[in-house]
Structure 1
Amino acid sequence: MTTRSRPPSTRAGRGILLTSGLALTLAVVVVPFYWLAVGATRSSGEIFDSPPSLLPGGHLLTNLTTLQETVGFGRVVLNSLGIALVYTLLAGTVCTLAGYGFATYRFRGREALFGLLMLGLVVPAQITLVPLFKMMAELHWLNTYQAVIAPNLALPFGIFLMRQSMAALPRELLDSGRMDGCGELRLLWRVALPPMRPALAALALFLFLYQWNDFVWPLIVLRDSSAFTVPVALASLQGLDETDYGAILAGTSVAAVPMAVVFLALQRHFVSGLLAGAVKE
């Protein structure tokens, strides 16, 4: 039985079509970021010029100065960075411990408890805003950083990701560690976590971006402008009569830098971490 190869013209046509599709996709992704960078260097009036100019302007320093004078943007960035880093560390620890427990322990009601936890993936977050706000008020945590960090430490997606990754570990590996006298925390640290580095990197990236971009909850619990995070501070620049879009775009450009740095630092492990545990041998 012979296999008929496609004519060279057909293969060339498919290659051109594929290349064109990839170029179009790249343009759709890159053009908004380019316009964001250009808008950050222009005044509000210049942003709405018709036809729009695609060349950088000369108002970047003016926009950054306006940000600093209006909302204290340097402190705001430090606020967001500190909150995101602390949240990533604490939530990563909680999700890892919970995922390890669900993956390695056998106890009555485990599947039901895990299924109940996974309901958090489909329940809209807005439903929990009022109960969480009342809880923070009773704890006297309003306008504090712990009110921003604490409510979402046990993030359902993070627990799911770590549980699926931990489930791929051979049971014999863990059992041999227990026979050698390892306690559970030491077993987790020395045996389970080293193969989980891609999953941990994906989890850290997801948690950092989740907290860095969070807007609604910090807007509700933070009242002092000196404690604002970046999304809340940028939203406060939108006035009823006048909005400085140049300053907003400049602040958005600065806010995108930490996200890009974190993603570039962890991109090697991101895809493999998300796929960890997806296929069982």
Structure 2
Amino acid sequence: MGRSARAPGRPARAARRRPAPDVRRHAITLVLLAFAPPLLLLLSASLRPPGLPPPAAGGLWPEHLSAESYRRAVELGGLGRAALNSLLVCAVAVPVSVLVAAAAGFAMTRLPRRGARLLVLLSLVALMVPGTALLVPRFALYRALHLTDTLVPLMLPALIATSPLYPLVYWVALRGVPADLYDAARLAGLGPVRTWWSVALPAVRPVTIALATFTFVLTWSNVLDPLLYVYDRDRATLPLALRSLATLDPTDHPVFLAGAVLATAPAVAAFALAQWLMRTRYGSPERTPR
């Protein structure tokens, strides 16, 4: 009788909890609606014919759509070559940064508690150091190594995982991996490297996707480092080429905004791809079986 008396209460409690996913969905929709207008304004202004002034109130969407601004942006700003340079930098920096961060985070989980705490403290101290404080030492080092005016200085930060935060994120995630998996790998004769690659990394794939996305966006949109280390136009990255495009004719807003759309689209696509992978490969909280 006791079980039958409690059983009807469970669906009622579950029913009361069901609106929570809807609330989250509505909250996400509101956030998207807040960020959508600037993107729509950017897109609509880039589709105006070149040479036109910014649209007045009430005429946000052009009457005659034109892709001429995109063609002129690519030709005048050299955005095609710059995009290839940015892709090359990201193709090297993103995987190296993720692998270094994952290896460092895994190594921290293998350390004694006192050693791990010390590394966490050092990482937090490194996070507090302003990036601008390292510009002069880094420039002097790259210049002494004859690496200026190349793409190498844009890739080298990946050797330290781009940010001290990334190893900490992996450390927290890998601490949640069940110890039984590591014990099974040890019994199977796997060494530390094989255990890291075959056991630890597959267990934290969502973290890898998230950090890879953030690293790509940060590397793709980096304008300060190319401005300091790259001088030849043929080696310019896309943000640097976009900055040069803005100085050619500051009054030609459609051309500059067309270049901004081309520079923004890959970052938006990266976030969309990461979201799709999260939902299709690993599901969402609403889809988890009861």
TM-score by length of 2: 0.79
Match of 1:53 among 48, 59, 64: 59
Match of 2:274 among 266, 272, 275: 266
Match of 2:39 among 18, 21, 33: 33
Match of 1:225 among 210, 220, 233: 233
Match of 1:157 among 161, 165, 182: 165
Q: 1:243 to 1:226 in 2, by over 3 A?
A: farther
Deviation at 1:22, TM superposition (A): 7.3
Match of 2:77 among 71, 74, 91: 71
Matched position secondary structure for 1:236: helix
Q: How many residues align?
A: 257
- 2:12 match: none
Choose 46-55 or 28-37, whichever is displaced more.
46-55
Deviation at 1:121, TM superposition (A): 2.1
Matched position secondary structure for 2:47: coil
Deviation at 1:139, TM superposition (A): 1.0
Same amino acid, percent of matched pairs: 30
Determine if the alignment matches structure 1 residue 179 to structure 2 residue 190. no
Deviation at 1:118, TM superposition (A): 2.2
Deviation at 1:173, TM superposition (A): 2.0
Distance in structure 1 (CA, Å) of the matches to 2:189 and 2:28: 54
Deviation at 1:236, TM superposition (A): 1.1
- 2:260 match: 252
Q: 1:216 to 1:262 in 2, by over 3 A?
A: same
- Report if aligned partners of 1:94, 1:153 keep a CA contact under 8 Å in 2: yes
Distance in structure 2 (CA, Å) of the matches to 1:47 and 1:177: 65
Residue type of the alignment partner of 1:153:
L
Matched position secondary structure for 2:189: coil
Deviation at 1:51, TM superposition (A): 2.9
Deviation at 1:56, TM superposition (A): 3.2
Residue type of the alignment partner of 2:175:
A
Distance in structure 1 (CA, Å) of the matches to 2:99 and 2:28: 39
Deviation at 1:110, TM superposition (A): 3.3
Deviation at 1:157, TM superposition (A): 1.8
Q: 1:47 to 1:124 in 2, by over 3 A?
A: farther
- 1:8 match: none
Residue type of the alignment partner of 1:208:
F
Deviation at 1:241, TM superposition (A): 7.1
Deviation at 1:33, TM superposition (A): 0.3
Q: 1:270 to 1:22 in 2, by over 3 A?
A: closer
Determine if the alignment matches structure 1 residue 208 to structure 2 residue 216. yes
Distance in structure 1 (CA, Å) of the matches to 2:88 and 2:64: 31
Matched position secondary structure for 1:237: helix
Determine if the alignment matches structure 1 residue 130 to structure 2 residue 141. no
TM-score by length of 1: 0.81
Matched position secondary structure for 2:245: coil
Deviation sequence 1:225-278 (CA, Å, 0-9, x none): 1111111111112338744322221011112221222222211566999xxxxx
Distance in structure 2 (CA, Å) of the matches to 1:132 and 1:59: 46
Distance in structure 2 (CA, Å) of the matches to 1:242 and 1:205: 32
Deviation at 1:115, TM superposition (A): 1.2
Residue type of the alignment partner of 1:134:
A
Deviation at 1:117, TM superposition (A): 1.8
Residue type of the alignment partner of 2:178:
P
